[in-house]
Amino acid sequence: MKPIFIAGPCVIENSEVLDAVAQRIVEINKQLGVDIIFKSSFDKANRTSISSYRGVGIDKGLQMLADIKSKWGLSLLTDIHEAWQAEAAGEVVDVLQIPAFLCRQTDLLVAAAKTGKTVNIKKAQFLSGADMKYPYQKAMESGAKDVWLTERGNSFGYNNLVVDFRNIPDMLAIAPRVIMDCTHSVQRPGAAGGKTGGNREYVPAMALAAKAFGANGYFFEVHPDPDNALSDGPNMLQLDNLENVIKSLL
């Protein structure tokens, strides 16, 4: 199965950042013969602190994503956090993503599936790969066009995540498409004084290890200036490094 790639800034900050990332993704697509799906979130509903930047909201955010699709011709992925968001988001994006903390929310899964779009379900930090059988069934039996599962690490203590790569073959026994979230898996949740920290230097190795375990999709949050990003900066990949990481996986 040909690998898929998903990349983009964690959250919509402004049109300049979206355009800079989209332009680079288009260039990489042409140079490497891939079809990277553009990802960004209109809202980050699970930020550590109430004072953290969340995004531009669903109405403005979906319009900005639609503009990216129109201008750059890219497929789109975005998260939804509540069932009522599914229909509107499904009119704009190609893949609806279910955040890890919400992967057991039945109403959310059903609403996403009913749009007929592909649904990407991120494995919760508190579940095993085998446990993802049930969210997968909920979405498939509710009419999803296709359902992907995504590994993003497990919590085994405070302010840290550990990736058990055996989850990848376990999820491949459930779904044909299993994606490695190579950037969220290097997070240090809540470890940066009211914000999430991270170790972006481990992202390329996370991707290669996932490939060794059979992953057939890779998710990267990228930014032109991660150190000054408004969300997830410490674990986001520098945009200029994306091409070489993808090359290593082809």
Cα distance between residue 110 and residue 18, in whole Å = 30
Structural domains in the chain (count): 1
Q: Find all residues with CB under 8 Å of 205, minimum gap 6, and list them.
A: none
The CATH number assigned to the domain holding 245 equals 3.20.20.70
Reported as a pLDDT band with limits 50, 70 and 90, residue 227 is: confident
pLDDT of amino acid 199: 76
pLDDT at 4 over 90: yes
Neighbours of 63 (CB within 10 A): 12
Domain that holds residue 145: 4-249
Least confident of 89-103, 115-129, 187-201: 187-201
pLDDT at 85 over 90: yes
> Which DSSP symbol is given to 129?
S
237-238 and 37-39 beta bridge pairing: unpaired
Q: What is the pLDDT of residues 118-128, one digit of tens each?
A: 999 999 999 99
Task: Give the tokens for residue 172.
Answer: 């491949």
Q: Find all residues with CB under 8 Å of 194, minimum gap 6, and list them.
A: 48, 49, 51, 52
